[in-house]
Amino acid sequence: MTSPSDYVPPKVWTWNPGNGGKFAHINRPVSGATHEKALPVGRHLLQLYSLGTPNGQKVTIMLEELLALGHAGAEYDAWLIDISAGDQFGSGFVEVNPNSKIPALLDRSESPPVRVFESGAILTYLAEKFGAFLPTERARRAETLSWLFWQMGSAPFLGGGFGHFYTYAPVKIQYAIDRYAMETKRQLHVLDTRLARHEYVAGDDYTIADMAIFPWYGSLVMGWAYDAAEFLQVHEYSHVRRWAELLLTRPAVRRGRIVNRTSGPPEEQLRERHDASDFERGA
């Protein structure tokens, strides 16, 4: 195994702002706002501040699914938060999410308005508000929430671990890539085993667990993430692939995937969404 050996951690860690990483210019060891900036507010009761990354897509898929079910109260404005420009450190955004990460939701139908951050919390909030995509029967609800929390705990190893060291780190470190490739494949195997027996992740019903897991693991098996399909041999996970293709037959999933996207083919980018008709004309 190749192994960089010239670094000895000092007694006390100090911040090296220009460490060469892709996100070095936005990462800091402290939290809080860096500048005053109010958030824009549109005409709908739900205001979403996000970006079309996997974590952002979970929520836009859910909102599009709710609208497809006929819940007019799920109409939303999706504002673009450009995290590479530091929008997540504006004072208005920090008020909605003190953790400075997309997605963040403001529900203005409540008085005072309710803020919700963390994608899993947003999915649960919306599912409870509209009574959809989260079973109420105790065992099925527990299974759904178990998979939802599985996703929240697992994806940082995929994104922050494998994706970071395989794609974004300024040096290729075999130890780190081996560690996170192994964990990513283990997670894919967990999902594949589950989906071999069940149509959807939580069982017979399509739920917020599918919506949370699809943008990360569905993208991976479709070959859309980190250019790693061959490296991770994602064809081995045929049940995950079957499920990802099933979800992609849903128009709401296809719409949700493109909201607030700023990369990929132009037809798959809708930078902001303020009305259903935005999907027809682009925005």
User: Which residues contact ligand GSH (rule: CB under 6 A)?
Assistant: 26, 53, 55, 83, 88, 100-103, 118-119
CB-wise, 47 or 88, nearer to ligand GSH?
88
Please state the closest distance from residue 178 (CB atom) to ligand GSH, in A: 24
Say if CB 117 and CB 99 are below 8 A apart: yes
**Residue 111 burial (C-beta neighbours within 10 Å; 0-12, 13-18, 19+):** exposed
Least CB distance to ligand GSH at residue 151 (A):
9
Shortest gap between Cβ of 24 and ligand GSH (angstroms)?
11
Distance CA 170, CA 29 (A): 19
**Sign of the alpha-carbon dihedral angle for 186, 189, 194, 195:** positive
Beta bridge partners of 76: 46
Nearest to 80 by CA among 259, 202, 282: 259
One-letter amino acid of 229: A
| Cβ 93 to ligand GSH shortest distance, Å | 10
Least distance to ligand GSH from the beta carbon of 55, Å?
A: 4
Q: Which is nearer to ligand GSH, 22 or 172 (CB)?
A: 22
Q: How far is the CB of 170 from ligand GSH (least distance, A)?
A: 18
Q: Closest CB to ligand GSH among 81 and 177? A: 81
Q: Which C-beta is closer to ligand GSH: that of 88 or that of 124?
A: 88
Angle, in degrees to the nearest 10, between helices 251-258 and 238-248: 90
Reported residue count of the chain is 283
Q: Which amino acid is at 109?
A: S
Of 97 and 195, nearer to ligand GSH (C-beta) is: 97
Our CB check for ligand GSH shows the closer of 76 and 203 to be 76
